[in-house]
Chains A and B, each alone.
Chain A
Amino acid sequence: MKLYASPRSPYVRKVRVAAHELGLSERLTLVEATPKNVIELVSPDNPLGQIPTLVLGDGTAIYDSPVVCDYLDTLHDRAPLIPRDGPARWQALKLQAVGDAMLDQAIAVYMDEGRPAERRDEALLDRRRTRLKRCLSALEDDAASLDEALTIGPIAVACALGYLDFRLGRYFWRPEQPDLEAWFDRFAERPSMRATQHPGPG
């Protein structure tokens, strides 16, 4: 299977962590996309030109990241990362939605901070940061639940926190969320997380 990827994409990281946890890493052939070539490279398989996009041996394209994770979760006989039914399933998917939504906001903040100063809207940036902080605060209140079971939920949250460290800086979230920080620092030691770290700033 071919995975359009980038070491800087947190959604790609989520897929790669999931693959690693499921013992499927070696079946993924990574094709690296850059901000410059991503649309040209990926759009023949995914017109949105987004990564991650998975392409199967028969040419079938699978996207976006929750769908790729869902697909990978059918390829193994370990405990599923997305419980097949019942409350555990909805809990895992909901937590993934929180992690992904945090990423949407964090990426928008990072992109906005990179705009020419005269095109930057500080009021909008503040509202995005507020959204992020509300999610972080809810996660802090319930940090103990992140240790309950290894599902796509904690993986998505960990990838969101790793991305905050990478793009918005450690001080954005760590000082006010000590329990979440302690959980993340332990989770980040997992081989799946270590193998998929974002590169240095850039």
Chain B
Amino acid sequence: MKLFYAAASPFVRMVWVTALELGIADRIERIDGGTTPMDANPALAEANPVAKLPTLVTDDGEALYDSRVICEYLIVEAGNDTMLPAKGWEHWSALRRLALANGILDAAVLRRYEAAMRPAEKQWEGWSEGQRLKVVRALDELEREVDQLGGGATLGAIAVACALGYLDFRFGHENWRDSRPKLAAWYEDWAKRPSMTETVPAG
């Protein structure tokens, strides 16, 4: 398998942490998916018309995306039955938490583009504030339900950890830990996993 990769992308990190935790990372060759949010990498656009990272190319040559589809595929490939509970409340709860983490990342990444890519005179404070508040509410919810996150490598926990890692990476000055001591303590422990320390974002 091949994975279009970039060290700064939180969605790529989510996939790579999943692969490391599943013990199948050595079956995946990482290819530089180097792209800006604006200009697509040509090889990536060839494999995936959406031209987004991450994109996985399976051993059969099929391109898969987006990150949640790739994670699910890797779980099936690895024959793992604990990372995403098969059914029941735990199953939907894990997928909901993954969606919550993705929602944090979508909003944070949009804010980052707004601040980093758009010329200053074209930025729109009101719009960015809406995205910021979305993250605030989602983090408050995670603080309330932190007991359900657990210490193991479930898909929900991986996604939340990658979302928090991204906030540290791009929005460290906003101190998400300040009013969320339980989530901060959970993350401090979870981020010690080798899958996390090997994938600290850069770039």
Contact = CB atoms under 8 A, between A and B. Distances in A.
A127 B38 contact: yes
A53 to B, nearest CB: 10
A138 B98 CA distance: 29
Interface residues of B, number: 46
Interface in B135-180: 137-138, 140-141
A58 to B, nearest CB: 9
Interface in A59-89: 60-64, 66-67, 70-71, 74, 85, 87
B22 interface: no
Interface residues of A, number: 42
B186 interface: no
Contacts of A70: 95
Q: Would you call the interface of chain B mostly helix, strand, loop, or mixed? A: helix
A162 to B, nearest CB: 19
A124 B65 contact: no
B122 A64 contact: no
6 contacts: A63-B99, A71-B92, A93-B69, A121-B122, A137-B49, A139-B49
Interface of B: 38-40, 45, 49-52, 58, 60, 62-66, 68-69, 72-73, 76, 87, 89, 92-93, 95-96, 98-100, 102-103, 107, 117-119, 121-124, 127, 133-134, 137-138, 140-141
Given A62-B92, A63-B96, A93-B69, 15 more contacts: A47-B134, A60-B89, A60-B92, A62-B96, A64-B102, A67-B98, A87-B62, A91-B62, A94-B64, A97-B50, A97-B69, A124-B118, A134-B40, A134-B45, A134-B49
